[in-house]
Structure 1
Amino acid sequence: MSNNKLKFLFAIVLTAVISAGITFAVVQKGTGVSGAERTGDDPFEKLYSTYDTLQGEFYQNTNEEKLVDGAIKGMLQSLGDPYSAYMDQEEAKGFNENISSSFEGIGAEVQESDGKIMIVSPIKGSPAEKAGLKPKDKILKVDDKSVEGMTVNEAVMLIRGEKGSKVQLVIERDGVGQLDFNLTRDTIPLETVYTETENGIGKIQITKFSETTGKELADALNELNDQNVKGLVLDLRQNPGGLLDQAIAMSDIFVPKGKTIMQIENKNGTKEVQKSQNDSAVNVPVVVVVDNGTASAAEIMAGALHQSAGIPIVGEKTFGKGTIQTAKSFEDGSSIKYTIAKWLTPDGSWIHKKGIEPQHKASLPAYANLPYLNPEKELKQGDSSAEVKAAQQMLQALGYEDIKTEGFFEETTKKAVTRFQSENNLSQTGTIKGETTIKMLELLQAKLKENDTQMSKALEVLNEQMK
């Protein structure tokens, strides 16, 4: 990376941010549904008539605000678009906090998919990530309350809560079935960019695209430049996306001037082409790592860097979100967010529900997909459940290979648990609970970090480029 170019990197980012549109911006304000003359041709006559009828004839007193909110909510739901929704004051506040500042909750991006609330990606360091929630997990219940038929915002308001409070989720995972998760809510931090170096290689992990991410990336690149790194790995795994302007600004750092970053296809079919405005500030080899939790703005960046800067992609097929949203706020603090356009990769491809295929495929070890075990729940001899099977698979991954993994806690499992407890200075109860569960999870996470096969593949590809 050139020192002269990186010297002005932050200014480049700010310029791109100011000049670009954003995915989830509050673009305008209004007072609600505009009035119209009530004529026979008025398309809102049926709506007005229903409102008047309920106000005058419903057997109980009606709430004017709730009736209007319900009508607006129904309009958004009728679009059949999981990314368009009405948000009341509380929901709108939470939505804006998620973009611009830290908030309290479990730290997972969710969306509606085929009538169900689905995890897009957990946020790095969040309770959701630590608990083992995965992309494509479907949330069935929150604290024993079914979320079937709820909007995303309604479900989010149930899941969110004060730091230190607990929430129980019942989720459905493909190939596994139903799983229970007990999480303790926490503050979800502002920081979105993390760096480390290894053998002269700089690793940059971007966890989401918030208002500060462009500056964080600029700072990270300057820091790595000072360390004279020979190559970069850009880690976009488990990144659910966020602000479009940040994705454009950050792609601008890597994509040569004049090259296409993305295309925006509007309702009438016209296309706006977003091109890089600055000379690339990075002149060392780069590799991008993605997985099925890489979505939206993260996919924009991955697609731009590959197609317009020749940067290879390593990992698994991405999530596949190819639409752009904006928001309109009302005077009472409520708002609507709605889809305004498709976005296309530089070559014109629409990746919606398809994702981006990496050129170098790499998956994590099978034990990376094992579900979280609740330390408060005891697993003992005689039990038979999905949790027992998961615990057996964890022990097997940790080197206790003689254990059976059939989901029945029998004598062999008890002996393996007792040996595990002995080797880790734990009380030798022969049951899995509390410190034993926590230690198993900790050791498995440490092993996964040591055996990050996707990162290993990325480094292999990067080293080939550096030759």
Structure 2
Amino acid sequence: MNLKPRFVALLVTVAVLVGAAGSYIGIQYFGNDQNSVSQSKQIANADQDTKNFGSLSEKEQEEFLQNIGNTDLKKVEQAYSVIKDNYVKEIDQNKLVEGAIQGMLDTLDDPYSVYMDKDTMKQFNQTIESSFEGIGAEVSMVDDKVTIVAPIKGSPAEKAGLKPNDQILKVDGKSVEGMDLYDAVLKIRGKKGSEVTLEIDRPGTGDPLNIDITRDDIPLDTVYSDTKTVDGKKVGVIEITTFSENTSDEFKKALTKLEKDGMDGLVIDVRGNPGGLLQDVQEILKQFIPKDQPLVQVEDRNGEKSPYYSDLKEKKDYPINVLMDEGSASAAEILASAMNEAGGYDLVGTKSFGKGTVQQAIPMGDGSTIKLTLFKWLTPDGNWIHKKGIQPTVKVKQPDYFYTNPVEIKDTLTYDETGDKVKNLQKMLKGLGYDPGRTDGYFSKETVAAVKEFQQDEGLKATGDIDEKTGGKIEEKIVTEVRDDKNDLQMKKALDVLFK
């Protein structure tokens, strides 16, 4: 189809308007696009209205555009023509159009409303349809910075020590400042076995951290179940790492098996869960929240609220609580808030991330897509938790050493030095059972003694100084402690209060 130049700028907006109508039957998102495993399947349905528009005659297109108020877009049309016809260099017309789309989205000041061009969408769809290789971390734009929401369970990102709210400054030495989220993500991703170095700004630390991560296949399982025994009672534990296309089915199978095995109580663990699909979290909640209470409410731009309900007649006959932390976001927060406000169940852990908006994928008809924030979601009681998070009813933090940071040691740390590196290592030593005397970042004589004791136990030269080898060994031992279930104070507390 040949279009007059003056229609091109108008089509930028029309594709959004028409595509939105077609995509209402598509996926709604609570979280980041790494979870969007159904996106490519929905595009075929959502494209239809855009194609219908394209089949209209030029006169019919003009009438349609006028009916939606093309006078508002004359300035855009004029700018397009002026640039295309007069700029000192030959320009790519497609870049002008895509720049116009990106510019409109940028004015929204919404990190969750983003544009993905054809090439970006192609790479994402290839990732969705084949094996997922990368570092395994959900990311978002927070204050214009690429920010870790949560590392995926068992991923290279988790093993390397990435944490929620880490801000990525550089990828392999190149700054991502001002870069689009998806361009940054594509730089971070890569083939299995390749290495990427991320420069991280972590709240509460001094100098940026350089973290080397070897990319790998990312686990796609989203539900893990286990049983624990508390005072002779059998407790089922179901961990949900993200809400994707098959999560609700996986959850139902795990719950059914635990119930058949005669569990006496249930802990649902959504720590580090960055969110995902609305449909799946609803299906899970329908198994616990009776029909007289909404699971969640969705509010449109006019303030109209649409509550969602289950058909469940009564609650489960066993106690339940939910584990959450600062990495629990969006759909994980929907689950937590519903279980608490509508189900009356305890929330154990720390305050959640705080994402209260709903996105929907809107195909543009040429392979590109806009993911646009269309709604707010509200808790059953009508609370909007965006940028606030959800407070636990039973607050418990992990041991201090869970929150320590990797330490790069280029110059040996010695007695009488101060700084965040010393502070981190003191907390690690204390977590390993050594007494550094203090944990405020001053390398005291007591810290020297603790380091010597550690070095002797590990077969290292007992100098009392912390060189690269000693620091690496301390970190290695701490990682082992963090991964040991016996040190999980949040899980212990969840089990402890379950029957009380």
- TM-score w.r.t. length of structure 1: 0.85
Could you tell me which residue of structure 2 aligns to residue 351 of structure 1?
385
Partner of 1:306: 340
User: Which of 132, 136, 140 is 2:161 aligned to?
Assistant: 132
CA offset at residue 390 of structure 1?
2.1
Is 1:340 matched with 2:369? no
SS of residue paired to 2:296: strand
1:113 aligns with 2:147: no
SS at match of 2:339: helix
Query: What is the aligned partner in structure 1 of residue 480 from structure 2?
Result: 443
The 1:426/1:153 distance shift into structure 2, 3 A limit, reads same
Shift of 1:342: 0.8
Range that drifts further, 309-318 or 207-216: 309-318
Match of 1:195 in 2: 225
Counterpart mapping for 1:167-186 below 5 A: 167-177=196-206, 178-186=208-216
Structure-2 residue corresponding to 1:7: none
1:166 to 186, 191, 195: 195
Cα drift, residue 154 of structure 1: 2.2
1:392, distance to aligned residue in structure 2 (A): 3.3
Amino acid at match of 1:307: E
Structure 1 position 384, deviation (Å): 6.8
Q: 1:380 aligns with which of 406, 409, 412?
A: 412
Contact 2:436 2:448 in 1 (8 A): no
Conserved 8 A contact 1:127-1:183: yes
Contact 1:395 1:440 in 2 (8 A): no
Instruction: Please say which of residues 27-36 and 328-337 is displaced more in the overlay.
Output: 27-36
Change (3 A) 1:163 1:428: farther
Match of 1:213 among 247, 262, 267: 247
Structure 1 position 339, deviation (Å): 0.5
Instruction: Indicate yes or no: 2:106 matched with 1:77.
Output: yes
Residue of structure 1 in register with 2:73 after alignment: 44
Cα contact 1:370–1:390 (8 A) shared by 2: yes
Q: What is the number of residues matched between the two proteins?
A: 443
Which residue of 400, 414, 417 corresponds with 2:434? 400
The range that moved more, 36-45 or 276-285, is 36-45
Deviates most, 297-306 or 138-147 = 138-147
Once residues 113 and 435 of structure 1 are traced to their aligned partners in structure 2, the CA distance between those partners, rounded to angstroms, is: 31
Query: Which moves more between the two structures, 343-352 or 178-187?
Result: 178-187
Shift of 1:338: 0.5
SS in 2 for 1:44: helix
Q: 2:499 aligns with which of 438, 463, 466?
A: 463
Match of 1:286 among 298, 304, 320: 320
Pair 1:22-2:20 in alignment? no
Tell me the alpha carbon deviations over residues 36-82 of structure 1, each in whole angstroms, 9 at most, x when there is no partner.
57989622222222222222222222122222111111111111111
**Pairing 1:306-325 to 2, within 5 Å after superposition:** 306-325=340-359
Q: Which moved more, 1:217-226 or 1:412-421?
A: 412-421
Change (3 A) 1:96 1:411: farther
Which of the pair has more CA radius of gyration? Answer: 2
- In 1, distance between residues paired with 2:88 and 2:384? 50
Change (3 A) 1:180 1:277: same
Q: What is the CA–CA distance in structure 1 between the aligned matches of 2:314 and 2:181, rounded to whole Å? A: 38
Instruction: Rate the CA distance shift 1:101–1:192 in 2: closer, same or farther, 3 A.
Output: farther
Match of 2:91 among 56, 59, 62: 62
CA distance in 2, matches of 1:218, 1:421: 49
Question: Structure 1 residues 391 and 402, CA, compared in 2 at 3 Å: closer, same or farther?
Answer: closer
- Structure 1 residues 380 and 133: CA distance shift in structure 2, 3 A: same
Aligned partners of 2:401 and 2:478 also within 8 Å: no
Contact 1:102/1:187 (<8 A) preserved: yes
Decide which of 468, 473, 483 is 1:432's aligned counterpart.
Answer: 468
Give the equivalent residue in structure 1 for 2:310: 276
Deviation string 1:312-335 (CA, Å, 9 cap, x unpaired) is: 111111111111000112343221
Q: Give the aligned residue type for 1:445.
A: V
Q: Alpha carbons of 1:332 and 1:218: their partners in 2 closer, same or farther (altered >3 Å)?
A: same
Per-residue Cα deviation, 1:272-313 (whole angstroms, up to 9, x for no partner): 110013446843211111111111011111111112222111
SS of the residue corresponding to residue 300 of structure 1 reads helix
**Alpha-carbon deviation of 1:85?**
0.6
Structure 1 position 235, deviation (Å):
0.6
Shift in alpha-carbon separation, 1:255–1:240, aligned structure 2, 3 A: same
User: 1:435, CA displacement in angstroms?
Assistant: 6.3
Shift, 1:230, TM fit:
0.7
Measured in 1, the distance between the counterparts of 2:190 and 2:52 equals 29
Task: Find the counterpart in structure 1 of residue 364 from structure 2.
Answer: 330
Distance in 2 separating the partners of 1:60 and 1:308: 61
**In the alignment, which of 286, 295, 311 is matched to residue 261 of structure 1?**
295
Please list every run of 5 or more consecutive structure 2 residues that lacks an aligned counterpart in the other structure: 1-24, 30-35, 55-60
Pair 294,102 (structure 1): closer, same or farther in 2 beyond 3 Å: farther
In structure 1, the residue matched to 2:282 is 248
Q: Contact (CA 8 Å) 1:210, 1:246: kept in 2 or not?
A: yes
Over the matched positions of the two proteins, sequence identity in percent amounts to: 45
In the alignment, is the contact (CA less than 8 A) between 2:356 and 2:376 conserved in 1?
A: yes
SS in 1 for 2:406: coil
Does the 8 Å contact 1:195/1:202 carry over to 2? yes
State TM-score, norm by structure 2.
Answer: 0.80
Q: RCO (CA 8 Å, sep 6+): is it higher in 1 or 2?
A: 1
Cα drift, residue 420 of structure 1: 2.9
**Distance in 2 between residues matched to 1:315 and 1:113, nearest whole Å:** 23
DSSP-derived class of the 1:43 partner: helix
